[in-house]
Chain A
């Protein structure tokens, strides 16, 4: 290195040692002392890879600062480690439930129906229970808006409407983390989102019931109305209960704070 520096200055900046070896084919691998360090590589790179290096450096410095500032020294990941905390309990609980699966399958084996017959539609067509919700969303025809602009025609066929409804439901669930941010975790700290969750669970149940309305001993119009009413009832109740719990709960959590500054 130093030899190079003294002899050909301009040459050194243009290449990085490894390249001049290519002429005679020897030394394709850079000798250890010539392998560039990370900071050297960073100086040489440009464009996106340089940005990457710069960001990494910043991120590492941020981590470092956070760790030195923290009075919480036991670990630097703010969460439970999976091992051994989680694993031990999970192994105990799951082996019990695996036993349950085996017991269930020994006690309640499934049966097989008549063989497929394209020329005879059975009275009851059903998917497995966990797809009822999706099946139910296909039956939302009555809610498909009839646009007066189109002369009372529907924008979409009822079935397309149902398929789109599926996509909307799944899409909404997928973006929840981007709608609800912040540090709150417990339902009581965020009554609104807990209410949304309860709404969703009840709706999953009622829309499933709607999908098998032929089998539910209830007037089908009543069932249709309940499908959309019950989730709202459940959601509002959750909201009301959690909202009124919240004051006392937060009081407990912030006891020390309130002790210093008692609420008027």
Chain B
């Protein structure tokens, strides 16, 4: 038996006899190269299977189904609020990543290095003033959108079976959004940030039973210091983004599987 087998698995010969366009040739070559090494065809099959399992058909409209004389359900525009939260989150993420290039979470110096890096962004950096403004506004708008989204879900009764789990994920998401806001609020290390941090430490300390432990963990001590700022920074740019992004993906994935609740 020769090492070069010529049989029905001769893909190159198959490609030659097919008379393919250059685009098709490049595509197939890449696909085969990857498939030989990673067996991606199996995974593509799984994906295709998933695709057909998700019901993608256009439904009969709600009004037809319930015979509601084609009345327009006037709350439908509010159903965009969830998407709007997602978009605001993406805008905040992009502008935040750009801000991160110039920000340094250090309390050293007077005024602190953190404060100085914000003033640098605002006064010296090209488009910096706008960038900070964009980050701030998208964060604020996101919180507002998430809150209104929650009200929409509440008042349309969309949290009922089978969507209880998504409601609870939503509660976690709105809490994460606010913690995002809080940690970000401390980063400029100006007077407002410092004293808001002070309140945070006191709140953490007055948590029943675990107070001191919580304060140590989140604020790095009972008074504000370098480690407070550093922890807020890592929470804001590392932990929260990972957790929130994953949860949003799960949240929206569940909506995709279950479909949007119809008002009955």
* B-binding residues in A (CB < 8 A): 72, 74-87, 89-91, 93-94, 97-98, 100-102, 104-106, 108-110, 112-118, 120-122, 125-131, 134-135, 138, 156-157, 159-160, 162-164, 170, 173-174, 176-178, 180-187, 189-190, 193-194, 197, 201, 253
On chain B, the residues within 8 Å of A178 by CB distance are 164
Check: B143 CB closer than 8 A to any chain A CB.
Answer: yes
Q: Indicate if the CB atoms of B59 and A86 lie closer than 8 Å.
A: no
On chain A, the residues within 8 Å of B59 by CB distance are 74-75, 80-81, 85
Q: Indicate if the CB atoms of B130 and A106 lie closer than 8 Å.
A: yes
Q: Indicate if the CB atoms of A159 and B206 lie closer than 8 Å.
A: yes
For the complex of A and B, the 10 pairs showing the least CB-CB separation, nearest first, are: A79-B259, A115-B111, A116-B194, A90-B83, A109-B133, A185-B157, A105-B133, A177-B164, A159-B206, A80-B260
Min CB gap A54→B, angstroms: 21
Q: Indicate if the CB atoms of B263 and A185 lie closer than 8 Å.
A: yes
Main secondary structure of the interface of B (DSSP, over half): helix
Q: Indicate if the CB atoms of B151 and A116 lie closer than 8 Å.
A: no
On chain A, the residues within 8 Å of B58 by CB distance are 74, 81, 84-85
Min CB gap B119→A, angstroms: 7
Q: Indicate if the CB atoms of A176 and B181 lie closer than 8 Å.
A: no
Assess A125 versus B192: contact at CB under 8 Å? Given A75-B55, A182-B160.
yes
Q: Indicate if the CB atoms of B193 and A116 lie closer than 8 Å.
A: yes
Q: Indicate if the CB atoms of A125 and B199 lie closer than 8 Å.
A: yes
Assess A174 versus B171: contact at CB under 8 Å? Given A75-B57, A115-B190, A164-B208.
yes
Question: Per a CB cutoff under 8 Å, which of B56, B68, B147, B188 touches A130?
Answer: B147
Question: Per a CB cutoff under 8 Å, which of B134, B164, B203, B224 touches A118?
Answer: B224
The chain A residue with its CB closest to the CB of B62 is A80
* A-binding residues in B (CB < 8 A): 55-60, 62, 65, 68, 76-77, 79-80, 82-84, 87-88, 91, 107, 110-112, 115, 118-119, 122, 129-130, 132-134, 136-138, 140-141, 143-144, 147, 151, 154-161, 163-164, 167-168, 171, 175, 178, 181-182, 185, 188-196, 198-199, 202-203, 206-208, 224, 255-256, 258-264
- Sample (7) of A-B pairs whose CB atoms are under 8 Å apart: A74-B58, A93-B80, A117-B191, A126-B196, A127-B182, A173-B171, A177-B168
Q: Indicate if the CB atoms of B144 and A130 lie closer than 8 Å.
A: yes
Min CB gap B127→A, angstroms: 11
Assess A82 versus B87: contact at CB under 8 Å? Given A101-B137, A117-B194, A181-B160.
no
Q: Indicate if the CB atoms of B264 and A183 lie closer than 8 Å.
A: yes
The chain A residue with its CB closest to the CB of B158 is A185
Min CB gap A136→B, angstroms: 12
Q: Indicate if the CB atoms of A181 and B161 lie closer than 8 Å.
A: yes
Assess A131 versus B182: contact at CB under 8 Å? Given A72-B65, A110-B133.
yes
The chain A residue with its CB closest to the CB of B223 is A118
On chain A, the residues within 8 Å of B129 by CB distance are 109
Q: Indicate if the CB atoms of B141 and A101 lie closer than 8 Å.
A: yes
Assembly CA distance A177 to B118 (angstroms): 43
Question: Per a CB cutoff under 8 Å, which of A83, A113, A138, A183 touches B203?
Answer: A138
Min CB gap B125→A, angstroms: 13
Q: Indicate if the CB atoms of A81 and B182 lie closer than 8 Å.
A: no
Min CB gap A94→B, angstroms: 5
Min CB gap B18→A, angstroms: 29
Assembly CA distance A127 to B199 (angstroms): 9
Min CB gap A220→B, angstroms: 19
On chain B, the residues within 8 Å of A174 by CB distance are 167-168, 171
Q: Indicate if the CB atoms of A116 and B136 lie closer than 8 Å.
A: no
On chain B, the residues within 8 Å of A131 by CB distance are 178, 181-182
Q: Indicate if the CB atoms of B138 and A105 lie closer than 8 Å.
A: yes
Q: Indicate if the CB atoms of A93 and B194 lie closer than 8 Å.
A: no
Assess A177 versus B159: contact at CB under 8 Å? Given A79-B262, A98-B91, A128-B181.
yes
Assembly CA distance A72 to B196 (angstroms): 56
Assembly CA distance A75 to B262 (angstroms): 14
Q: Indicate if the CB atoms of A122 and B206 lie closer than 8 Å.
A: no
Q: Which of A125, A134, A157, A184 has the most CB of B within 10 A?
A: A125
Question: Per a CB cutoff under 8 Å, which of B60, B155, B189, B255 touches A197?
Answer: B155
Q: Which of A105, A160, A178 has the most CB of B within 10 A?
A: A105
Q: Indicate if the CB atoms of A105 and B261 lie closer than 8 Å.
A: no
On chain A, the residues within 8 Å of B164 by CB distance are 177-178
Assembly CA distance A77 to B255 (angstroms): 12
On chain A, the residues within 8 Å of B140 by CB distance are 128-130
Min CB gap B135→A, angstroms: 8
Question: Per a CB cutoff under 8 Å, which of A105, A125, A182 touches B130?
Answer: A105
Assess A89 versus B80: contact at CB under 8 Å? Given A105-B133, A125-B192, A131-B181.
yes
Min CB gap A129→B, angstroms: 8
